[in-house]
Amino acid sequence: MTEFLQWNIHSLQASREELDMLLSHIQPSVISLQETFLKGNKMITFKGYSSFHSFASEINGTPHGGSAILVNLSLPHIQLNLHTSLQAVAIRVSCHKTITVCSIYLPPSMAFNANNFNDLLHQLPPPHTDNWRFQFTQHSLGMHKIGSPRKDGGGHSY
């Protein structure tokens, strides 16, 4: 079964143990992460997964935001080269068919710019996951329909 998950992880390093447990128990095909807080010089790897990152921006040496996608090594996949100022990373993955997955973090302090967002969307080959956001919490898995980016700037998978 193909499973796609999304998690606003609030620090990849601090939540490493929970993420390792999730990966080993559920073994999702793809997991999209936001607020990784990873600096550009820090790479984290996970057994059985390829990882792709858009590193966090730094303010006074403190990382803010960042996004990542982890892909199960059993699935053929490639990273897409994005030209954007947004904290975004995208891949093409072949499950039952080939799709595009993009993980984006929009900081709450950043004014939403529809042009930047539309420019990013036009770089993504169809089909891409733009109708649903899959969310993981420590206690439950859920699926939520989304219509547009949150006004408070949270993470999204498209």
Any idea what the CATH number is for the domain that residue 20 is in? Answer: 3.60.10.10
Domain ranges, residue 128:
4-157
Beta bridge partners, 133, equal: 144
Token pair in block for residue 27: 């073994």
Closest-CA residue to 131 (of 39, 13, 23, 6): 6
Read off the pLDDT band of 91 (50, 70, 90): very high
Beta bridge partners, 58, equal: 63
Tokens 């984290």 correspond to what residue?
Answer: 44
Strands 4-8 and 30-34 come out as: parallel
Q: Tell me how many domains the chain contains.
A: 1
Chain-centroid distance of CA 157 in Å reads 6
Q: How far apart are CA 102 and CA 104, in angstroms?
A: 6
CA dist 79 to 6, 82, 150, Å?
18, 9, 25
Q: Can you give the pLDDT at residue 155?
A: 53
In tens, the pLDDT along 144-158 reads 433 334 444 455 554
**Long-range pairs of 21-25 with CB within 8 A, sequence gap ≥ 24:** 22/136, 23/47, 23/48, 23/49, 23/70
Overall size of the chain counted in residues: 158
Q: Enter the pTM of the model.
A: 0.79
In tens, the pLDDT along 29-74 reads 999 999 999 988 777 889 999 999 998 888 888 888 999 999 999 9
Read off the pLDDT band of 89 (50, 70, 90): very high
* Average pLDDT of the residues in 125-150: 44
In tens, the pLDDT along 3-31 reads 999 999 999 999 999 999 999 999 999 99
Token pair in block for residue 8: 């606003």
